[in-house]
Amino acid sequence: MYALQQEVVTMRSVKRSIKDKNILTRVGDTRLNKTLDLIKKHPSGLCDNCSMEESVEHVILHCSKYSGERENLKREIRQIGVQDLNLENVFTIGLGKRFQFIKDTG
C-alpha cells in the first residue's frame, strides 16, 4: 500500500535524516502529505486539493482531483470481473492496472 509516491507528482531525490528514514521505514515511504506531516515536512498532512487527510486510501478512493483516473481504474477492474473499488481489490488486481493509475495521476 505504501508503494505509491508521497505526493502524486514527480519524485525527487531528497536527503533525509536518520530519524526521518526510520519513521518512513515504519510507516511506509508514500510521499503523501500524511507521511510528510509525521516527519514535520508538511504543516498539516491534509490534501492540498480537498483538505482531507492525504493517505493512500484518500488518493485512490476519494480525492476529487483524481476522479477521472479513478473512473478509468474502475472501468479496468470491472473488465476482469471486480465490481467494487476498494483498497483490498485495488491491491489484489494486476500490477499493470495499479501502475497505470499512478502514472495517470502524475
The per-residue pLDDT for range 17-30, each reduced to its tens digit, is: 655 554 444 445 67
Question: DSSP per residue over 31-62, as a string?
Answer: -SHHHHHHTTSSSS-B-TTTSSB--HHIIIII
Farthest CA pair distance, the chain:
45
In this prediction the pTM is: 0.64
- The reply to whether 11 falls in a domain is no
Q: What is the pLDDT of residue 2?
A: 43
- The reply to whether 80 falls in a domain is yes
- The reply to whether 52 falls in a domain is yes
Structural domain including 52 reads 18-104
Q: Rounded to 5 degrees, what are φ and ψ at 53?
A: -55, 125
How many structural domains are present in the chain? 1
Q: What is the pLDDT of residue 15?
A: 59
Cβ contacts of 62 within 8 Å, gap of 6 or more: 50, 52
Give the C-alpha separation, 58 to 103, whole Å. 17
The per-residue pLDDT for range 32-80, each reduced to its tens digit, is: 888 888 888 899 999 999 999 998 889 889 999 999 999 988 988 888 8
